[in-house]
Structure formats: C-alpha cells, structure tokens
A and B are shown apart, each in its own frame.
Chain A
Amino acid sequence: MKIVFDNVKFKYEEGNREILKGISFTIGTGEWVSIIGHNGSGKSTLAKLLIGLLSPIEGAIYLDDIEVKEENLYDIRKHIGIVFQNPDNQFVSTSVEDDIAFGLENISTPRDEMIIKVNDAIKAVSMEDYRYEMPSNLSGGQKQRVAIAGILAINPDIYILDEATSMLDPKGREDFIKIVKTLKEAGKTIIMITHDMDEALLTDRCIVLKEGEIVRDGKTIDVLNDYDLLKSSRLEMPSALYLYHQLKKKNYGNKEVLNALWELALKK
C-alpha cells in the first residue's frame, strides 16, 4: 500500500509551536524507510498521525486512496500495525497468547481462524515456551516480540516501529531486528522511527526531520554519509561511517589502516 503525506501540518491545541510544518512524502509498497531526527523533531507525531491517533490541522494523509480520518480509522488500522517504545505500556492482557489475540478479537476474527493465527504469530517470534506467561515474567525484548506478534497475527501491509528497540538490551534488539528483516523479505512496508543510527543504516531510504520539517529524504547510505547535515540536525553518524570519515580525515587509505591494525595485533 502506498502512503502519501500531502503538506501535513500539526500542532497541539494547547501549544502554539507547530510540531510539523507542512510535511510531504510518499512511501511505496515494500519500502523499508527510517525516519530520524532529534528529540522533539516530530517523528513520533508523524507515526501517530499515520495511524490516526492524532489528526492534522492542515493537509491530508492517504493510504492508497483512503484518507486517514475519523470515519475510516477502523479500516485503516487493519492495514497498519505499530510497535511503541515502552514494552510495558502496550501489553494489554495478562498472558502472551491473550495479548496476541487482543487485536484479532477487536476485528472480530472467527475463533478457529484466531487460534491458527495466534499459533503462527507465536512461532514467528519464537515465544512458544512463554505462551501462558504473565508479562511481569518477561524481559523487555520478549515483550516487544509479543507486541510485534500481535501485529503479525493481523497481517497488515504496513509496520511502524516507533523507537521500538530503544528500551531493549543488545540481545533483545538483535532478536527484534531479525524479525523485522523477515518482515522486509515478506514484502511489507516498514517505517522505522529511530535515533539509533546503526539501526537506520539497515534501511533502504532515510528521511531526516528537523524541527518539524523534512531536511533530507534519500537513499540511506547517502543521507547518513552527510556529516554536515547530520551535525546540523543534531544527529550522529553511524559508528562505522564515523570511523571511516575520521580515518579519511587523517589521510589513512586502506593500506595504512591495514598496517596500523597489524602493528596493533603484533604488539599484543
């Protein structure tokens, strides 16, 4: 499904600062896009607008031909799944299988079908052993896996991951990214909102937000290579690229780096 943001403006009723100042972009089916930006750049607002938790004060958002607005929300939300940042605040039920079933219950999936889908989703995130477990007995990473399983069960076309890995430990993060990669292979559209640049590097396309405006939209590798742009957007370069640029600054070619590494290795 195609996502279209057409000159979207947003501000909270009580505030006078515009969070989004006229955002336009299009995301096609199967794209893997990262949206990066400093805190308060409006990137999470973007996600909430897309899933209709907030509505724009100007402009419009379309999913194919359906406009995202009050009367269409029930259908829109069948096509979009979102994983939020805090693993604890999106686990509704008292057990893993119940939580996965929550979304299916809401869209009135017949029970036989629901059982199959819940089983498949549990398997897809390798949580078979924790099926009846209470959320308080799960780690953050496991809870996030359950959250994504809840969406997998509904099988939407678009997945939004709103800083979904920011509260996880490295292992939890790795497991989570693995699942996201399988989604990508299945041809789903994935929007990853993040300020982890190494994670953004995995994506194909990158949109940079700064104070409610898009300052760059392009191929991830090009965007993240632009040191000045990232600096002015109060962001950091991915560690690998940063190292590369630092070496380049010192006029280290491949050969020199190799020699330096050998020296280091031999010293030990």
Chain B
Amino acid sequence: MNRNFVLGQYVPGNSYLYRLDPRVKIISTILLMVSVFFLTTYYEILGALGVILLILLSGRISIIKAIRGLKPLLVLSLFVFFFQIFFNQTGTVIYTSELVFSISSIVSIIVLTFLFFFIRRFIKFKFILLLIYLASIYLSLAYLAYPNILYSYTLNIFDKGLETSLFVFFRLITVVFIATILTLTTKPTDLTLGIEYLLKPLKVFKINSEEIALIITIALRYIPTILEEAYRIMDAQASRGADFNSGSLFKKIKIIVSLLIPMFIISFERSDELADAMLSRNFVPGKEKTKYHILRWKAIDTMSLVLSFILLGGSICLFIIV
C-alpha cells in the first residue's frame, strides 16, 4: 500500500502557468473541456491534443508527469477503446481474424490469468503487463485450436469502428490532460481560493462561498493526518493479528469495520478540539473577514481567458460547419 501520500498532484515550478490566477485556470479548464466535446472527428481531437501538448510544453511541464496523471484512467480508456472496436460495426471491414475457443485456448487463458494476477503483485509497470496479458489472450484465441474447435467467432474490425475508438480514446486523454494542467500547476490553497471567488455569486441563494472554501481547506488539511491515523490503527491491529491484505471479501469488510469505528471516534474528537481552537481564535461563521491571500488579475490572465474563448469558439465553428 502506498504510504507516502502527497496531497494533490501539485509539482512546484515557475512558468506562466503557475503565475496565472487560479480563477482563470479553473474557467479555462472548463472552457477547454467543453470545446473538446464539440469536436467530432479523430483528427480534430488529435489537433486539440496537439494544442494541449503545446500548452504543456510552453508551460515547461514535463510530459512524463502529465502522463502519470492519466494513470487512473488508463484501464477505462483501454476498455472504451476495445468496446468501440468490437461493437461498432459500420463502414468497411479492414481486418478479419478468426477467434476459436478450444480446450487448449481455454486452458491457456486460465493459465495466463493466473500468471497475470501472480506477476501483478511483483511488477511495477502494471499497465504494460495488462497489455501483454490482453495480447497473449488474443494470440491464444487466434492460434490454439487443439484438439477441436468448440466455438468460433469472426472478429471484424471496421474502419469506422477503428476511427470512433481512436476518437473516443484520444478525447478521453485530451480531457484528462487539460485537468492535469490545472492540478499540476495549482496549489490546493490557490485552487480553494479560486473556487471561493468563483462561487461568490451563490450569495444570492444564501450560500456562503467562504464557508465552502473553509470546508475544502480543512478537508484537504486533515486528509494526511487522518490517513496517518488510519495506518497507526492498522499497525496496532496488525500487531494483534489482524490481516488487512488477504482473506475473503467478507473477512476484509469485517476488518475494515474494525478500522472505521476507531477512526470515526477519533475524527469526532478531533473536530471538537479543532472547533474549540477555531472559536478561541475568534472565528465567527459568516462574519466579514479580511484576507491574507488576495488574487490579482494581470494582463496575462485576460490573454489566457481570451485564448480559451477563442479555442472554444473555434471548436463550435467546426461543429457547426461539419
């Protein structure tokens, strides 16, 4: 289990992306994401991906770190990709392959699955392993036909299907990249401050954006603390024989409950003490306060915002014309 928990994905740096007002960054992120959804073909998406990569490069963000941000979505994007390839059957066939189920191929799949889950524990590049696993399943389905064929299926890949799957795949990647730019270059505190300013209009509905920002801040601040606490309790219970890593699902749930109960109690105590500390420092909810951090709008912010609008306008134009 990963115990070196770092809050958010923020990587310290010093380029114009870092100096942008968080409000602009949040709005631009939303605008760019919306504009990606106006694009309809995969080469347009590739163009958009190019633009995003340009932004990344111009902001001196390492591409490797950005790609790392894709990690949680890799499996999903792979699934979407294959789903489209297999089930979108329009256009002309560009590739055909006979897939056969025989005793040998089924045995091979079972062995591969075992191997996959076994090796998975010891290997770092799980995604590459997954790709190898899928490829070898394909190979065994395509070539192992011994002793006799139980069932056969013809896999047809259509040109439209391939196009759509590439389109969906790249669109997902582009959207995640856009979000990554925001999270890599913005400190959680700045992000919260940006959200606070942007939610100010909600005052009309009697919603206090300062309080929302405070809630986010406290949540962010206590995540590492509470995680540390959880590990401490886990260690304490492991030293008394609890096993968090193996056992049936039911057993695992039972053990998680034994972790959750002390966590809840401790968290309630914590929140009581925190409330006391905040009150004694003269915190009065809803009262007008001054701010230590203020946001300053600069020329570059206006420029970025205009650029984002131009990109959005461009993609809407493409959408209407095509």
Contacts and interface: CB of A to CB of B under 8 A. Distances in A.
Given A98-B189, A114-B290, A136-B7, 11 more contacts: A82-B277, A90-B273, A93-B217, A94-B217, A98-B293, A103-B281, A106-B283, A110-B290, A114-B292, A118-B292, A136-B228
B284 to A, nearest CB: 7
B249 interface: no
* Contact size range, B: 20 to 34
A38 interface: no
Of the candidates A94, A111, A118, the one having the most CB atoms from chain B within 10 angstroms of its own CB is A94
Interface in A78-105: 78, 80-82, 84, 86, 88-95, 97-98, 101-105
Interface stretch (B37-45, B90-98, B218-226, B230-238): B218-226
Given A94-B188, A111-B290, A103 B282 contact: yes
Of the candidates B217, B220, B225, B282, the one having the most CB atoms from chain A within 10 angstroms of its own CB is B282
Interface string B269-303: 01001101111111110011111111000000000
Contacts of A260: none
Nearest to A102: B281
Interface in B30-66: none
22 contacts: A48-B276, A53-B279, A74-B282, A82-B277, A88-B225, A89-B270, A89-B277, A90-B273, A92-B217, A92-B218, A93-B217, A93-B221, A94-B217, A95-B189, A102-B278, A102-B281, A105-B289, A108-B289, A111-B294, A114-B290, A115-B292, A118-B292
Task: Give the 9 A-B residue pairs with the shortest CB-CB distance, closest first.
Answer: A90-B277, A101-B292, A136-B224, A89-B273, A103-B281, A106-B282, A77-B282, A105-B289, A51-B280
A114 B289 CA distance: 12
Contacts of A107: 282
Contacts of A136: 7, 224-225, 228
Of the candidates B217, B218, B276, B293, the one having the most CB atoms from chain A within 10 angstroms of its own CB is B276
Contacts of A91: 221
Contacts of B279: 53, 77
Nearest to A105: B289
Interface in B88-108: none
Nearest to A50: B280
Interface residues of A, number: 41
A82 B280 CA distance: 7
A103 B188 CA distance: 21
Q: Is the interface of A mostly helix, strand, loop or mixed?
A: helix
A26 interface: no
A114 to B, nearest CB: 6
A88 B266 CA distance: 12
Interface string A108-122: 111100110010000
A150 interface: yes
A92 B280 contact: no
Contacts of B270: 86, 88-89
Nearest to B5: A136
A111 B292 contact: yes
Nearest to A99: B221
A98 B292 contact: yes
A110 B278 CA distance: 20
Contacts of B224: 134, 136
Contact of A86 (B273, B290, B293): B273
Contacts of A105: 289-292
A74 B282 CA distance: 6
Contacts of A82: 277, 280
A92 B274 contact: yes
A106 B273 contact: no
Nearest to A78: B282
Contacts of B217: 92-94
A212 interface: no
A110 B294 CA distance: 12
A18 B46 CA distance: 74
A94 B220 contact: yes
A199 B225 CA distance: 29
Contacts of A51: 280
A56 interface: no
A135 interface: yes
Nearest to A54: B276
Contacts of A53: 276, 279-280
Contact of A84 (B221, B276, B294): B276
B281 A89 contact: no
Interface string B242-272: 0000000000000000000000000000100
Contacts of A101: 292
A97 to B, nearest CB: 7
B221 A135 contact: yes
Nearest to A151: B281
Contacts of B283: 102, 106
Contact of B292 (A48, A74, A80, A97): A97
